[in-house]
Amino acid sequence: MRFARRLDLVPPYLFAELERKIEEKRRAGVDVISLGIGDPDLPTPEPVIRALQAAAADATTHQYPTNRGLESFRDAVAAFYSERFGVGIDPATEVVPVLGGKEGVAHIAFACLDPGDVALAPEPGYPPYTSGPLFAGAEVHYLPLRAENAFMPELEGVPSDVAGRANLLFLNYPNNPTGAVVAPGFFERAVEFARATDLIVVHDNAYSEVAFEGYEPPSLLATEGAKDVGVEIFSLSKGWNMTGWRVGWVAGNAEVVEQFRRLKTNLDSGMFEAVQLAGVAALTEARSFPAEMSAIYRRRRDLMIEALAGIGLPAEPPQATPYIWARVPDGHTSETFTELVLEEAGVVVSPGPSFGPSGEGYVRVSLTVADERLEEAASRIATSLRVGARA
């Protein structure tokens, strides 16, 4: 059999490889603690589950949904954006449901990019910022995120010939994997850049509801002029422990929303209406749930930061996201450190370069496991470092 060459354009999906390694270790009897994947360990809030149960029992939800989404879903999104971000969204034209943020990221590239076009993508970054554009036949120009720039990309540094061909700019704050939050004035600069360069900005806002110590991550759409140049992708996955449910939306510029929806009418038949109604419950009855989860992640963050510092791995406590972006010890690369903790401690962390070359020297530690397991992981890493030092 012969398969499409586009499948070879991207390396194996990062977490597919991690999952394979975890499975291998588990089969060998190792009690693996995975801090590799950002998949919340705690259940979806009760009101959301109850809403799904009730809606699934109602036969009116059983037929094909529309790609437009239920009016009640779009209204709930608009009300949430208004209350949470101070952003007005027209539910009729400025929002469309997506089957998780990942689908939104990948498919928006298909709606915005032709072969020969360029997508500007942060690096290290979420892998679909690469696979979406490449599958669409476009090129990716990476924007390195470095500690010395507070993990903000240098938009001014994009070469003019690249900027001339660029039609899409991906941004993501709070950021995966670095945990960085947007610097004051950066969204304004991004909107200005998009205007000057005549491109579409897509802000991936997957993590705004996981934030600590009173910090409230903003929406790109709250920036003046943002809706003229772009959209935001939002997901219920992280804030509401709903990764398995596949609920998100694209909101913002009506033309982008319309073209994206046009693409999607050819690719899928929308989101199960019972799931949309569960999404409404998340945004209304379970509106305060992300704050409760953030309190849990904050406790875990502090616990892990302290444990890492204790073993000579100082890391900045992030203001948002369930991730710690930690430097590896001297004498290690991201890969040797990841191998060491997997082999000697049975702990999985994500090597920084799996998110892009600028991730070298870092690993990402996910806080999506119970406190006891985090403590156990930290103590096993400490032991493995002592073993590693003796070896």
Candidate residues 94, 204, 209, 232; the one interacting with ligand PLP per rule CB under 6 A: 204
**Is 179 one of the binding residues for ligand PLP (CB under 6 A)?**
no
Binding segment for ligand PLP (CB under 6 A), chosen from 51-59, 101-109, 157-165, 268-276, is 101-109
**Is 356 one of the binding residues for ligand PLP (CB under 6 A)?**
no
**Is 206 one of the binding residues for ligand PLP (CB under 6 A)?**
yes
Pure H helices in the chain: 14-27, 46-56, 71-80, 101-112, 128-135, 160-165, 186-197, 226-229, 254-265, 273-283, 289-310, 334-345, 371-390
**Is 243 one of the binding residues for ligand PLP (CB under 6 A)?**
yes
**Is 80 one of the binding residues for ligand PLP (CB under 6 A)?**
no
Q: How far apart are CB 209 and ligand PLP at their closest, in Å? A: 12
Binding segment for ligand PLP (CB under 6 A), chosen from 99-107, 184-192, 252-260, 284-292, is 99-107
Give CA separation, 105 vs 207, 209, 232, 250, in Å. Answer: 14, 19, 10, 9
Instruction: Give me the phi and psi of 131, to 5 degrees please.
Output: -65, -40
**Is 106 one of the binding residues for ligand PLP (CB under 6 A)?**
no
* 3-state per-residue secondary structure call for 101-148: HHHHHHHHHHHHCCCCCEEEEEECCCCHHHHHHHHCCCEEEEEECCHH
**Is 332 one of the binding residues for ligand PLP (CB under 6 A)?**
no
**Is 102 one of the binding residues for ligand PLP (CB under 6 A)?**
yes
**Is 252 one of the binding residues for ligand PLP (CB under 6 A)?**
no
How many of the other CB atoms lie within 10 Å of CB of 50?
Answer: 13
Nearer to ligand PLP, 118 or 242 (CB): 242
Candidate residues 34, 67, 172, 358; the one interacting with ligand PLP per rule CB under 6 A: 172
Candidate residues 178, 235, 253, 384; the one interacting with ligand PLP per rule CB under 6 A: 235
Query: What is the x/- site pattern for ligand PLP, positions 28-67, by CB under 6 A?
Result: ----------x-----------------------------
Give the SS3 label for residue 153: coil
DSSP 171-190: E-SS-TTT---PPTTHHHHH
Q: In sequence order, which residues have a C-beta less than 8 Å from that of residue 360 and are 6 or more positions away?
A: 333, 334, 352, 353
Q: Which of residues 142-171 bind ligand PLP (CB under 6 A)?
A: none
Nearer to ligand PLP, 100 or 356 (CB): 100
Candidate residues 45, 91, 100, 239; the one interacting with ligand PLP per rule CB under 6 A: 100
Contacts 24+ apart (CB under 8 A), 16-20: 17/354, 18/348, 18/350
In the complex, which residues of this chain contact ligand PLP (CB under 6 A)?
38, 100-102, 105, 126, 172, 176, 204, 206, 235, 237, 243, 248
